[in-house]
């Protein structure tokens, strides 16, 4: 099995090194194409207004001066065009990617790009608590559980244009309660916290804080799975059409269509 590894924390990130060690227990055909620098929050953006540079760091190891999407595009259309991957693994991100985070996340977006290209794609992220920040974020849960979760998923045939989002809870491996397949959650956007402060030169700046999660009956979401001490596994799809609104919009706009035809 040929596996492509990428991320949004950069080619030298601790999480990518951990993911490589996990991937090598599953295959000996590992390729790495990742951003040169951290691209957290880049979402599904790609670089259009400036050139993207590709640097080789060794056999099957490359960095890209762009976004995670750029990295996957270059990997599939250039670096690996004659030897495409069977699976793309993106991560292991420093920090969880839960609920609406998936729309901002470069980690998840790299997997989205793989899914769009028809490659089985999985995003992996390690949650952390306030006690572990920056370079001190503990990856112990991911290290202990990643292979156990990935092994069965690598043989799972996903539906077209879908991907899998995995998050590991912020706790010691022995305290993890298991794996829970769950829905994407939702935070209370109306309670988004914005902290305003002033820098030494007198200019205001702002920190964004996330709102509390919206609880669901049965704790069925990724937010709740992580809070309950489980590894969360969430299937995501890229068709953003809201089926429930299609017929209602047809009816709403029917008169407009008739007027245009009559004209």
- Per-residue pLDDT tens for 188-221? 877 778 999 999 999 999 998 877 778 888 899 9
State yes or no: pLDDT of 96 exceeds 90: yes
The per-residue pLDDT for range 9-63, each reduced to its tens digit, is 999 999 999 999 999 999 999 999 999 998 998 999 999 999 999 999 999 999 9
Mean pLDDT of 74-85: 97
Distances, alpha carbon 249 to alpha carbons 107, 226, 239, 242, in Å: 34, 37, 18, 11
The annotation status of 8 as a binding-site residue, yes or no, is yes
Residue 89's nearest CA partner among 32, 10, 38 is 32
> Would you tell me the crossing angle of helices 14-23 and 140-153 to the nearest 10 degrees?
40
Domain borders along the chain are: 2-187+214-262
- Give pLDDT tens digits for 99-147: 999 999 999 999 999 999 999 999 999 999 865 555 678 999 999 999 9
Q: Which two tokens stand for residue 219?
A: 């704790």
State yes or no: 97 annotated in a binding site. Answer: no
2-187+214-262: CATH, from 3.40.50.300, 3.40.50.10310, 2.40.50.140, 3.40.1210.10: 3.40.1210.10
Q: Is 167 annotated as a binding residue?
A: no
- Give the range among 2-16, 77-91, 99-113, 241-255 with minimum mean pLDDT: 241-255
Instruction: Say how many Å lie between the first and final Cα of the chain, rounded.
Output: 59
What's the confidence (pLDDT) of residue 258?
Answer: 64
Using a 10 angstrom Cβ sphere, with 0-12 exposed, 13-18 middle and 19 or more buried, the burial of residue 249 is exposed
Buried b (16+ CB within 10 A) or exposed e, 64-88: bbbbbbbbbbbbbeebbeeeebebb
pLDDT at position 261: 59
Tokens of 109: 């977006």
| Average pLDDT value for residue range 155-167 | 93
Is 93 annotated for ligand binding? yes
Q: What is the mean pLDDT of the chain?
A: 92
Q: Are 210 and 193 in contact (CB under 8 A)?
A: yes
């Amino acid at each position: 099995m040929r596996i492509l590894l990428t991320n949004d924390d950069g080619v030298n990130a601790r999480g990518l090194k951990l993911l490589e060690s996990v991937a090598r227990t599953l295959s000996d055909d590992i390729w790495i194409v990742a951003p040169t620098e951290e691209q957290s929050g880049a979402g599904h953006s790609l670089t259009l207004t400036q050139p993207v540079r590709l640097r080789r760091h060794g056999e099957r190891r490359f960095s890209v001066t762009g976004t995670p999407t750029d990295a996957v595009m270059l990997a599939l259309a250039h670096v690996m065009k004659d030897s495409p991957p069977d699976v793309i693994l993106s991560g292991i991100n420093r920090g969880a990617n839960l609920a609406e985070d998936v729309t901002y996340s470069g980690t998840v977006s790299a997997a989205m790009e793989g899914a769009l290209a028809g490659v089985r794609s999985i995003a992996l992220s390690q949650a952390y608590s306030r006690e572990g920040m920056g370079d001190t974020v503990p990856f112990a849960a991911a290290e202990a559980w990643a292979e156990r979760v990935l092994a069965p998923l690598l043989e799972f045939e996903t539906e077209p244009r879908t991907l899998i989002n995995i998050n590991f809870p912020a706790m010691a491996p022995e305290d993890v309660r298991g794996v829970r397949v769950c829905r994407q959650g939702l935070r209370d956007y109306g309670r988004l916290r914005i902290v305003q402060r002033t820098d030494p030169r007198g200019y205001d700046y702002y920190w964004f804080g996330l709102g509390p999660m919206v609880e669901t009956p049965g704790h069925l979401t990724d937010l709740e799975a992580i809070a309950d001490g489980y590894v969360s596994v969430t299937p995501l799809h890229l068709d953003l059409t809201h089926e429930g609104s299609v017929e209602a919009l047809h009816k709403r706009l029917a008169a407009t269509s008739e007027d245009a035809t009559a004209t």
